[in-house]
Amino acid sequence: MAYRGGPVGGDPGDHSSLAAGAQPAPHRPRDGVVASGAKQIERWLETDRLQLTRIPELLAGRGCEVSYTTLRRFIRRRGWTRIAFVRAGL
């Protein structure tokens, strides 16, 4: 007997077959990953005066894939907003 919305002949609350086809969530680096390059990031912002949009590209070249949003959140938590956002007009 088929249960409407559930597997045939199985437990109506068993959704393991649905989970088997689910894709894993993409890995998002934590601030800890970005923190390993904190000194270099600060140097790029303060000394080299690079724009924030350029830094994820440079980090990717070093094997650290970081989104712009993650980097921006990291910089705000560090209190570097004056360095990064005033110059960029944000």
Per-residue confidence at 71, pLDDT binned at 50, 70, 90?
Answer: very high
Q: Does residue 57 contact residue 73 with C-beta atoms inside 8 Å?
A: no
User: Alpha helix locations (H) across the chain?
Assistant: 16-20, 31-35, 38-46, 55-61, 68-78, 81-88
Instruction: Name residue, tokens 């559930």.
Output: 6
Burial class, 38, CB count within 10 angstroms (exposed 0-12 / middle 13-18 / buried 19+) = middle
What digits encode the pLDDT tens for the residues 22-65? 665 555 556 777 888 899 999 999 899 898 999 999 999 998 88
Residue percentage of the chain with pLDDT more than 70: 57
Is the pLDDT at 7 greater than 80, yes or no?
no
Q: Indicate the domain borders of the chain.
A: 30-88
Rounded Cα distance between 8 and 25, Å, is 28
Share of the chain above pLDDT 90, in %: 28
